[in-house]
C-alpha cells in the first residue's frame, strides 16, 4: 500500500514530510517518492543503515531514527501550541460579545459621540434624548455631566420641556422619568410642573391617564417615580384595557393588535406600583409568547411589517421580565435567550442595529439596549413617597369641640388635686 505523506508545520510554511517508520521497506515503496530509483526507493534512514557495516550502520540507523522522531514530535508540539493560541484569539471576541457589561461600555462610548451641539441626541425628538438619559443613569453616569459645547441632555430637555410635556401624557411621563433619573425636580423643570401635567390627564370616570394604554403606562411609571400615590381605579383601568391575549395595543384602538412594547411598559408599571394580580400574570404569558426562536422579541407576531426580532422590542421585554421578577436568561430558545439575542445585534462600532437585516448603527436601539443589558427596568430612581392623608382629620371648628376641651381641663385639675394630696 503506498505510503502517504504527512503535513507538518515548519515555521511560516507547511511542507510534506514522508512518514517515518522503523522498517525502511515499508517506508520506501511508493513510486511517487522523490528518491524512487527503480526497484527500491532510498530514504535517508535506509541509506544510513546500508552505508555502514554492522554494528555501526545499525547503531547509526537507530540514532538517526530517534533524532528524526524527536524532531517530528517537537514540530507536532509546536503545531498544537499554535492551534491552541489560534483558538484563544478566535474565542476571545465571542466571549467579549457575550459579556453584557463590556457590550454596554462599548455602546456608551459610541453613544456619547452622537451628542448634538445643543446637548440633545438624535432620534425622534426629546423622547430619544430621554432614552439616552436612562442609558447613562443605568450605567452610573451622571447625565448632567455629559456635555457638548457646555450643554447636557438635561439642559436640552429643559429647553423643550414646555412643548414636549404638553404634547401627551406619555411624553410628560417619559420626561418625568428622565428628570428624576438626573436628580432634578419634576415639579419645577423647564418652567413646568410635570407631575401636575400628568395628574391633570387623569380621568376619574374611567380611571385612565391620558388617551391610551401608552399614556396610562408612562403616567403610572412617572408618578411612582415621583413618589405619588396611584389610585386603585387606575390599576383597575389597566386591566380593563388589556386585550384577550394578555397584551395591550399602543393606542387602544379596536382595530389595533397587542404589541410587546406597550405590554412591556405596562408590566413595568404594574411592578413599579407593587401590583401582583391576574392581569400581570396574563401579560407575562403574552410577552413570552412573542419570543422568536433566536431568543429575541418582535414588535408583534401579528404585525404586517414582519416578525423579525428587533433590539428595541427585545430590550423592553428584558426590562419587563426583570421588573416582574423573571430571569431573561431562563427563556431559552434554540437560537439563544433574550440577552444573547440582543448582544447579537451589536455592531463592531459598539452601536446596536435595529434588526439583523438592517446593519446600520441605530441611535435609539443603542440607547434602549443599555439599561436592558444592565437589567435595569423603569423607573430608574424614585423620590420619597408622599405622606398619605390621615384617615380622620382633626376638628378645628366644630360646635362639639367645647365639651371635649372642658373634659380634658377637668381631668388635668383632678390630677393636680391628687398630686397635691400625696405630697402633703
Whole-number CA gyration radius for the chain: 37
Q: How far apart are the first and last CA of the chain?
A: 131
pLDDT interval class at 15 (50, 70, 90): very low
Query: Alpha carbon 99 to chain centroid distance?
Result: 11
pLDDT interval class at 414 (50, 70, 90): low
Mean of the per-residue pLDDT values for the chain? 81
Q: What pLDDT, in 10s, does the model give residues 34-87?
A: 433 344 444 444 444 444 455 555 555 555 656 677 776 667 655 553 454 344
**What does the pLDDT read at residue 7?**
32
Look up residue 53 and give its three cell numbers: 557495516
% pLDDT > 70, the chain: 69
Q: Give the least confident one: 112-116, 234-238, 402-406.
A: 402-406
**What does the pLDDT read at residue 58?**
56
Q: How far apart are CA 112 and CA 145, in angstroms?
A: 11
Closest CA to 241 of 232, 253, 231, 230: 253
Q: How far apart are CA 249 and CA 306, in angstroms?
A: 17
Q: Helix (H, G, I), strand (E, B), or coil: what is residue 208? A: strand
**What does the pLDDT read at residue 357?**
97
pLDDT interval class at 137 (50, 70, 90): very high
555501526: which residue's cell?
56
Q: How far apart are CA 273 and CA 218, in angstroms?
A: 12
Sign for the CA dihedral angle at 303, 309, 110, 141 comes to positive
**What does the pLDDT read at residue 386?**
79
The ranges assigned to domains in the chain are 6-97, 101-373
* CA quadruple 359, 374, 114, 185: dihedral, nearest 10: 140
Q: How far apart are CA 67 and CA 72, in angstroms?
A: 9
Classify domain 101-373 at the CATH topology level. Glycosyltransferase (1.50.10)
Q: What pLDDT, in 10s, does the model give residues 333-376?
A: 999 999 999 999 999 999 999 999 999 999 999 999 999 999 99
Look up residue 254 and give its three cell numbers: 379596536
Q: How far apart are CA 402 and CA 397, in angstroms?
A: 10
List % helix, strand, coil for the chain (3-state, nearest 5): 50, 5, 40
Close Cβ partners of 260 (under 8 Å, ≥ 6 residues apart): 247, 287, 290, 297, 298, 299, 300, 313, 316, 317
**What does the pLDDT read at residue 180?**
98
Q: Please tell me which residue, 418 or 121, carries the higher pLDDT value.
A: 121
% pLDDT > 90, the chain: 67
Q: Please tell me which residue, 417 or 6, carries the higher pLDDT value.
A: 417
Region 80-109: mean pLDDT is: 62
The region that residue 306 occupies, defined by phi over 0 for left and psi between -120 and 50 for alpha, beta otherwise, is left
Largest alpha-carbon pair distance within the chain?
A: 143
Regarding pTM above 0.75, the answer is no
Q: Give the least confident one: 66-70, 88-92, 167-171, 288-292.
A: 88-92
Amino acid at each position: 500500500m503506498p505510503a502517504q505523506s504527512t503535513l507538518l508545520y515548519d515555521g511560516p510554511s507547511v511542507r510534506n514530510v514522508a512518514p517515518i517508520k522503523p522498517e525502511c521497506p515499508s517506508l520506501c515503496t511508493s513510486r511517487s517518492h522523490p528518491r524512487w530509483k527503480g526497484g527500491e526507493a532510498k530514504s535517508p534512514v535506509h541509506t544510513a543503515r546500508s552505508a555502514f557495516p554492522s554494528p555501526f550502520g545499525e547503531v547509526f540507523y537507530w540514532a538517526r531514527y530517534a533524532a528524526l522522531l524527536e524532531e517530528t514530535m517537537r514540530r507536532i508540539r509546536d503545531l498544537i501550541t499554535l492551534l491552541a493560541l489560534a483558538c484563544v484569539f478566535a474565542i476571545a471576541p465571542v466571549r467579549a460579545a457575550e459579556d453584557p457589561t463590556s457590550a454596554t461600555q462599548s455602546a456608551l462610548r459610541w453613544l456619547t459621540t452622537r451628542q448634538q451641539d445643543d446637548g440633545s441626541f438624535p432620534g425622534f425628538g426629546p423622547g430619544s434624548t430621554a432614552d439616552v438619559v436612562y442609558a447613562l443613569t443605568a450605567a452610573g453616569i451622571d447625565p448632567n455631566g455629559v456635555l457638548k459645547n457646555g450643554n447636557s441632555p438635561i439642559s436640552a430637555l429643559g429647553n423643550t420641556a414646555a412643548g414636549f410635556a404638553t404634547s401627551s401624557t406619555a411624553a410628560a411621563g417619559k420626561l418625568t422619568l428622565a428628570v428624576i433619573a438626573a436628580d432634578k425636580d419634576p415639579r419645577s423643570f423647564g418652567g413646568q410642573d410635570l407631575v401636575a401635567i400628568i395628574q391633570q390627564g387623569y380621568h376619574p370616570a374611567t380611571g385612565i391617564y391620558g388617551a391610551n394604554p401608552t399614556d396610562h403606562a408612562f403616567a403610572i411609571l412617572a408618578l411612582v417615580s415621583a413618589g405619588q400615590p396611584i389610585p386603585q381605579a387606575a390599576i383597575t383601568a389597566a386591566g380593563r384595557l388589556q386585550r384577550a391575549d394578555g397584551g395591550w395595543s399602543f393606542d387602544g384602538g379596536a382595530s389595533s393588535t397587542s404589541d410587546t412594547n406597550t405590554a412591556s411598559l405596562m408590566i413595568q408599571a404594574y411592578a413599579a406600583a407593587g401590583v401582583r394580580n391576574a392581569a400581570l400574570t396574563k401579560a407575562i404569558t403574552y410577552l413570552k409568547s412573542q419570543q422568536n426562536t433566536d431568543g429575541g422579541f418582535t414588535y408583534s407576531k401579528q404585525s404586517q411589517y414582519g416578525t423579525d426580532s428587533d433590539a428595541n422590542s427585545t430590550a423592553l421585554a428584558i426590562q419587563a421580565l426583570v421588573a416582574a421578577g423573571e430571569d431573561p436568561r431562563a427563556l431559552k430558545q434554540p437560537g439563544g435567550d433574550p440577552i444573547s439575542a440582543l448582544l447579537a445585534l451589536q455592531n463592531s462600532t459598539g452601536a446596536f442595529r435595529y434588526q439583523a437585516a438592517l446593519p446600520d448603527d441605530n441611535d435609539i436601539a443603542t440607547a434602549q439596549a443599555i439599561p436592558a443589558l444592565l437589567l435595569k427596568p423603569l423607573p430608574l430612581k424614585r423620590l420619597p413617597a408622599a405622606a398619605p392623608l390621615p384617615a380622620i382629620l382633626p376638628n378645628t371648628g366644630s360646635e362639639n369641640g367645647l365639651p371635649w376641651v372642658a373634659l380634658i381641663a377637668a381631668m388635668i385639675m383632678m390630677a393636680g388635686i391628687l398630686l397635691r394630696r400625696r405630697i402633703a
